[in-house]
Amino acid sequence: EPEVTQTPSHQVTQMGQEVILRCVPISNHLYFYWYRQILGQKVEFLVSFYNNEISEKSEIFDDQFSVERPDGSNFTLKIRSTKLEDSAMYFCASSGVDAGANVLTFGAGSRLTVL
Amino acid sequence: AQTVTQSQPEMSVQEAETVTLSCTYDTSESDYYLFWYKQPPSRQMILVIRQEAYKQQNATENRFSVNFQKAAKSFSLKISDSQLGDAAMYFCAYNGATNKLIFGTGTLLAVQP
């Protein structure tokens, strides 16, 4: 079963530091996403990415955040100057084309703790 | 904008019994997908079942089935023969034209032995 791989599984950082979360989507998928889940709350959409550009982003995804697909396999989320409220679980997801475009496969998540 | 509502923050079921989790949604779109995701304590998001809005037949995956009422915008999940491993947070989700999942607030399911 193909899967989405995320690293690191848990990262602890100091407030104000930069963090990069990495994801390897399923190889033949073309749509990539980042979602966030603050502890005890619902899963929130951050950004979607297609054809090497952002296709949609939420209000949460401000200038502090950026995404990149630096090579043919990785999809990264960068958080500049982290804040305490950025502490959350960050999920990467990917989806295919046609009938598969609406079915997202999620990674196991990266837990970010900002101190 | 689309919304997804799960009105049951917590539910409990006895092992081997049946439980139904409720979900309603609001949309003006006619073509969309609905999903139930399971999130165990590991916090991974696991797809349980999906339903295409254009299909009248309710989706079924082994012990999991849905009751999809398009006119009422209702999408409930039925878990039959509940097992201890079914204990988790369950999220209902909507995906429409924008191709981004919109989640409900979740229902925490406890399974009593």
pLDDT, one tens digit per residue, over A63-109 is 999 999 988 789 999 999 999 999 999 999 998 876 566 788 999 99
The verdict on A45 touching B (C-beta cutoff 8 Å) is yes
> Does the pLDDT value for residue B91 go beyond 80?
yes
- pLDDT grade for B100, boundaries at 50, 70 and 90: confident
Q: Can you give the pLDDT at residue B98?
A: 79
Confidence class of residue A113 from pLDDT cuts 50, 70 and 90? very high
The pLDDT score that the predictor gives to residue A98 is 64
CB-based contact A103 B91, cutoff 8 Å: no
Give me the pLDDT at residue B70, please. 94
Chain-chain contact of A95 with B44 (C-beta, under 8 angstroms)? no
Interchain contact, B103 vs A43, CB within 8 Å: yes
Average pLDDT for B17-24: 98
Nearest-CA residue of chain A relative to B33? A102
Is-contact B107 B21, C-beta < 8 A? Answer: yes
The string of DSSP codes covering A38-87 is -TTS--EEEEEEETTEEEEE-TT--TTEEEE--SSS-EEEEESS--GGG-
Residue A99 pLDDT: 58
Q: Distance (Å) from the C-alpha of residue A82 to the closest C-alpha of chain B?
A: 22
Mean pLDDT of B98-112: 92
Residue A100: predicted pLDDT? 61
Judging contacts by C-beta atoms under 8 Å, the chain B residues touching residue A113 are none
Count other Cβ atoms within 10 Å, centred on residue A43: 25
Q: Interface of chain B against chain A, CB under 8 Å?
A: 33, 35, 37, 42-47, 50, 91, 95, 98-106
